[in-house]
Amino acid sequence: MEELCFDRQVVIVTGAGGALGAGYAKFLAERGALVVVNGRTSGTVDATVSDIIANGGTAVPDCNDVAVEADLIVRSALDAFGRLDVVINNAAVWNDAPLYGDRFDEFTKAMDINLNGTLNLTRAAWPELAKTGGRLVQTSSAAVFGVNHPSYGISKAGVFGSVYGLKSAAEAAGIKINGVLPIAYSEMLETTVPEGESKEALRRMLPSQLAAFVALLCHDAVPFNGMCFDAGGRHACRVLYAHNPGAYGDTPEDFLKMAGQLSATEVLIHSPDAHAFSAWKIAKLR
């Protein structure tokens, strides 16, 4: 198969001072992309840019804040390269702030960067991506399945939902939007995962392995739109909303008796969009 190249395609990677974002930026630059390396810490951003340039690639640094300066990030791409083809929304912060108590400012910070920052840059980049038939990659997380860090899990669930919520609009605009739930060794996992077999396994899951799949989501040949994938360690699989067949009842007592059917996961049904789900539901009415 012919190698998937990004000859002079312009890519913004947010959170590109960290392990995952830097891995994406370097991989895409090796394949010919012109990369805007975005992050809040100039030292790590500059290091990523220097590595790319040292290996024959092209990149520029950008330290604007996704939470409040998304328009400036897009402007950096246009000023440097004149167009925009791909955005990887990867910027995120991890904290264990609960929804309740006296740490709500930390909770809000996670929302501002992880969710609102993703939406801000998506909004700012949308007109330019529509011009080029561009691609959007939204970074969610397996934390959507439940983790004892509610600010992170809730914000990443919102990012997951953005892929479904923007699918139709993206298709109409000629944009492809997909999501990734990444797993690879990073500074975040080093500080949050306890020592043990799982952590040792994570240390073998390299950002470069993950970058290979993310690169497909960035390419104009990507065959997906409006889908989310778990990816890492040379493996990827689709993650989606699904429902079981359900049960019928007329009273609370009826539904209590059928709790097993209502919570069962042996048979699951996937509806590709809200219209399909509504049609399924209407067909079940009796």
Rg for the chain (alpha carbons), in Å?
20
Q: Tell me, rounded to whole angstroms, the distance of Cα 169 from its chain centroid.
A: 18
Please confirm, yes or no, whether 24 is among the known catalytic residues: no
Contacts of residue 245, defined as CB under 8 A and 6 or more positions apart, other chains included, come to 261, 267, 269
Q: Residue 151 is which amino acid?
A: S
Contacts of residue 24, defined as CB under 8 A and 6 or more positions apart, other chains included, come to 13, 16, 88, 90, 207, 211, 214, 215
Distances (CA, A) of 108 to 76, 97, 102, 191: 27, 9, 12, 21
Q: Say which of 24, 100, 152, 185 is annotated catalytic.
A: 152
- Residues marked active site are found at 152
